[in-house]
Amino acid sequence: MGKPIEKIIKTLEEYYKNFEAPPVVRGSPPLFQLLIRTILSARNTDENAVAAAKLLFSKYKTPKEIARAPIKELEKLVKRGVFYKVKARNIKKLSKILVEKYGGRVPNSMEELIKLPGVGRKTANIVLSYGFKKAEGIAVDTHVFRVVNRIGVVHEKTPLKMEKALLKVVPKKYWLNFNHLFVLHGRNICKARNPKCEICPIRKWCDYYNSISS
């Protein structure tokens, strides 16, 4: 029998109604900054990604400026976390594409976003949902992947397979808010180590909790 996904989502909506958004999207950053923050957050902490983006934008404000910036300078500015050299190259390349193809604007479709260097479905979904308020999918990051598998909403081995499975069981009206809620839950309660099951508001529906409490 499937999980009561609407009850789970509504319970999380009530529980987290007064919580701040995750750092990468906090403060509703401009679209280009949101895109860069999300790219920098890959295999990195949100705090490091935001700090690196802040340093980058303190010197270079626009896609045109970043496209013209020396790559070594960009590497120094985003040097927080892993793969910073690859991320710097991708940021420079996509900035050039944004300038030449989109007039410096961030495109607003999944098809166009995932063609940009360093942008996969997770990044594209975050930009679309938080930046454009468009629901073309569900962003599956490490928090979403862990929490969904633990609860047993679906069980999948890759983020892409999980997104496809979630789109079949989660009503579309909840797609925009799904990542937000499950990231908050993963950061605050359903942590990778030592999850706080005793205070979890959705534990009665959770496969992991039921397995350890039986």
**Which positions are annotated as active-site residues?**
122, 141
Give the mean model confidence (pLDDT) for residues 41-61: 93
Number of domains forming the structure of the chain: 2
- Alpha helices for 60-141 (secondary structure H): 63-68, 71-77, 84-102, 110-113, 121-126
Residues 154 and 112 in one domain: no
Q: Where is the domain boundary, 76, 102, 131?
A: 131
Q: Residue 1 pLDDT more than 70?
A: no
Encode pLDDT of 114-166 as tens digits.
999 999 999 999 999 999 999 999 999 999 999 999 999 999 999 999 999 99
pLDDT(60) > 70: yes
* pLDDT above 60 (res 198): yes
Measured CA to CA, the distance from residue 97 to residue 81 in angstroms comes to: 25
Share of the chain above pLDDT 90, in %: 90
Q: Establish if 117 belongs to a structural domain.
A: yes
Whether 55 maps to a domain, the answer reads yes
CATH number at residue 92: 1.10.340.30
Residue 47 shares a structural domain with residue 71: yes
Does 26 fall in a domain?
Answer: no
Q: Say whether pLDDT at 109 is over 80.
A: yes
Rg of the chain on CA atoms, in Å: 18
- Mean pLDDT score across all residues of the chain: 95
Q: Name the residue with tokens 């098809």.
A: 111
For residue 121, the enclosing domain spans 31-131
Residue 25 lies in a domain: no
